[in-house]
Chain A
Amino acid sequence: MSKIKCQCGHDNPFGTVLCEKCGRPMTEEAKKSEVVDMRYEGSARRSQTYKRSIIDKIWNFFSSVKVGVGIIIAVLATSAIGTLFPQKLYVPVNQDSPAELLAYYERLYGIIGTLYYKLGFYDMYNSWWFKILIGMLGTSIIIASVDRVIPLYKSLKKQRTKRHASFMKRQRIYGAGLSGDAGSSLAKAEEKLKNMKYNVKTEDGAILAEKNRFSRWGPYVNHTGLIIFLFGVLLRGIPGFYVDQTMWIREGELRSIPGAPDYYLENKDFILETYSKEEADEVFGEAIDRVGTIVKSYQTDVSLYKKKEDSLPGSTDLEHVKDYPIVVNKPLKFDGYNIFQMDYRLAELKSMTMQLIEKKTGKSFGQFTIDLDDPEGVYELNDGARVDLIGYYADYDGVENGEPVSKSPIPNNPAFIFDMITPEKPNGEKSFVAIRQTLETEENAYQVKFVSAETRDISGLTIRKDKTLYILLLGGLIFMIGVIQGSYWNHRRIWIQKGEGEELLIAAHTNKNWFSLKKDLNAVKEFADLPKYEDRLDNESSSEEEEGEK
């Protein structure tokens, strides 16, 4: 690869637009243009220099900003498609059943819904092609940044104070004219610029005043932040970095926490509170009238336990860690885990109270309560009577092969087989009792009658542990630093140098906010009696100024 030698004697890498040292235009295009393109200081981006092997070709592809913007637009457009219908996660059917999912989309959205499902848009953000798209975005960010930051750094470091007149002439802000005393104007300009916190360098009757160069690094800093963020997201794929579990826990239940070995949770109470009209006084009254009830809080009072260090899983040797009310927005935090209040179910059967009566007289032998989770075998009653529980079916689902069956261990529909032993019938009478139903093999003299049922609530909790959170936060922080550094400051440069005789040339450049640059320049111009300049891209305000002076 040949170097390009500039007239000033500097060797520039192939692809250079403006000489790194003196700023002379190097390409035909730059020579012809009136205002030169100052992006990347006219330096050679390496991506554009070598186009040989396949690796170089792929590299150059990702190095292009045009490609980068294309990928951004692609992510943007596909993301939008994913919001057309709800994603799988928000669909209230069994998540693991493709048939149910398809049926859901078909029922609600018809043919388009079916297509949406078939094309995989129902779980789009986890699809392989969306991940590839995000991966390409990351690749583009890395390669495009690497390819630009190094040449930019080099050319800003190499820049000379004294530039060639052809460079000055091609700046957007340029002026040339006679000054009464060029030397004193330069000295005054230097003084003024220093006062304005510019970094001033002089060389052989030339001044280069520069400010906020660091803002040029902003984009590269924020891209670093993005890469750290994406890296953090990637890490969640490694087992152990990320725990995401849910559990249903009943009031009164003590159970081990899924995903958090050695820890146990006891649900002491679930509380659902709504805003009452009286309590909410006149402020919320109108809203409650319109909408009906509004929930105030979902709360699960829990106790956290930890297994004693030397005991094995399964043993009941636990030590109490803490009590905590979990509410929405205030998860229980311990040992890197967070437990969130996510869901609830009200009023599941907990126990049932029954009484034994003599059918004929209605005489009661007293009441007994069956704990549906842990029933007893025998309930002793008054006057020598007792009831034996000989069969218990928590979720009664009919009779199979002459035997009642339960379809789950949850007491949704409890049924019992009782043996009623009374002084009159010491051999007992058998009876099958389910909700609103009593079956007897032969006419009994006694009956177990339902008295009341007690219920409990169930809390739906989510357990999370995410070791990548701090990496993500760091990425976000670095991104913010970079984006602020690049957006809220701007790199300004002012060149002032002697031309022929007492002629002074001024030129200025900024990456953004020309308005403020001109304000700075005006202040210097006034103080140091510099020639007039013009903004070659803004004909309107230049003519306005003249108009104002008339």
Chain B
Amino acid sequence: MSKANKKRSRLIFRGVVLLLLAAAILFSIFSKDKVEVLAVGDKAPDFELVDLDGNKHRLSDYAGEGVFLNFWGTWCPPCKREMPYIENQYQAFKEKGVHVLSVNIAESNLKVDTFRDQYGLTFPIVIDKNKDVKELYNILPLPTTLLIDKDGRITKVITAEMTEKEIISYMESIQP
């Protein structure tokens, strides 16, 4: 090997090693999120929960249609405020291929039942008794709402209270 060649390969070797090491350092600084979290564009994982009347609901039952997946609790004030709007828009959109599936997190049947009657809710309400779906979807604050399109993909995750106007535009966005 000629001297110039040798020098070049040495330079390449050193450059590559240094580059790899620098990349490793940068990676260690920026890799903070160690939990795999569902993100927009992911396929919404299927689940099966029982509603207040004892009927089973699967997410996959709604394949081909939009799903407005709302996680909530009876004790949470913003959940209470947005419920009537969701009910209104459920009525408006149920014929247009957008469904509301409302998941209560591990509360008692009595409590959820009373709540439904009090607010006159007609969409299906399922209870996630062992917090399985909550873990599956990494739900932290309540309310959290996921928009799922007709292909079963998550198009948006909303972790705040919604106005009626927003609910309308969200439902429109997943209309098949």
Contact = CB atoms under 8 A, between A and B. Distances in A.
Direct A–B contact present (CB less than 8 angstroms): yes
A488 interface: no
B74 interface: yes
B35 interface: yes
B111 A392 contact: yes
Interface in A298-322: 311-316
Interface stretch (B18-26, B83-91, B147-155, B156-164): B18-26
A7 interface: no
Contact of A389 (B35, B47, B110): B110
B108 A375 contact: yes
Contacts of B58: 312
Contacts of A374: 108-110
B85 to A, nearest CB: 17
Nearest to A305: B130
B34 A255 contact: no
B46 interface: yes
Nearest to A138: B21
Contacts of B172: none
B1 interface: no
A270 B49 CA distance: 29
A56 interface: yes
Interface in A253-286: 254-259, 261, 264
Contacts of B136: 256, 261, 313-314
Contacts of B29: 128, 131-132
Nearest to A266: B130
A234 B74 contact: no
Contact of B33 (A138, A239, A259): A239
A135 B34 contact: no
A409 B21 contact: no
A255 B130 contact: yes
A128 B129 CA distance: 41
A390 B52 CA distance: 17
A314 B34 contact: no
A169 interface: no
B46 A312 contact: yes
Contact of B111 (A143, A244, A375): A375
Given A256-B135, A313-B132, A409 B106 contact: yes
A377 B11 CA distance: 79
Interface in A450-467: none
Interface string B121-158: 00000101111111110000000000000000000000
A55 interface: yes
A160 interface: no
Contact of A407 (B14, B31, B75): B75
A55 B110 contact: no
B73 interface: yes
Nearest to B109: A374
Given A314-B133, A406-B75, A409-B106, A234 B27 contact: yes
B34 to A, nearest CB: 6
A178 interface: no
Contacts of A1: 3
A236 B31 CA distance: 9
18 contacts: A1-B3, A56-B14, A131-B29, A139-B21, A234-B24, A237-B34, A238-B31, A239-B35, A243-B35, A256-B131, A256-B132, A257-B135, A258-B135, A264-B130, A312-B46, A314-B136, A374-B109, A409-B74
